[in-house]
Amino acid sequence: MELEAVLEESGFRVLGPAATVQAALQLLDQQRPDAAVLDMNLRNETVVPVARVLRRMMVPFAIASAYGAAAWPRDEALDGAPSLGKPTSTATLIAAMHEILVTDSGRTTDSGQGRSSTLRP
């Protein structure tokens, strides 16, 4: 199942998807999500610029990628980002979203209902 469908069925409002780094950055110019799920590679471009903007915006995110964290580019914007793997199970994705939302700056959420998320399928 696509990440977007899983998130929507779990009560999250999804921004995107964004197939390129530029498209993701444009989405972030328009709206601040509560959390994000990023694919490490968007059309042969790493998602590092998006991760940097999310860090500046204080938006927590997870990485859904077939590449393990050891293979990610070295950049402090990626430090500590949860790695969901790819493919990602529904349970892993939803648990990660709740975890990053709960730990985000001390904010908590009961169910994620109405929360927003960006992603690249």
Per residue in 46-62, pLDDT (tens digit) is 999 999 999 999 999 99
CATH code, 3-118: 3.40.50.2300
80-85 contacts, C-beta under 8 A, 24 or more apart? 81/38, 81/51, 84/37
- Please tell me the pTM assigned to this model: 0.81
Per residue in 61-88, pLDDT (tens digit) is 999 888 877 778 898 999 989 999 888 8
Domain boundaries, the chain: 3-118
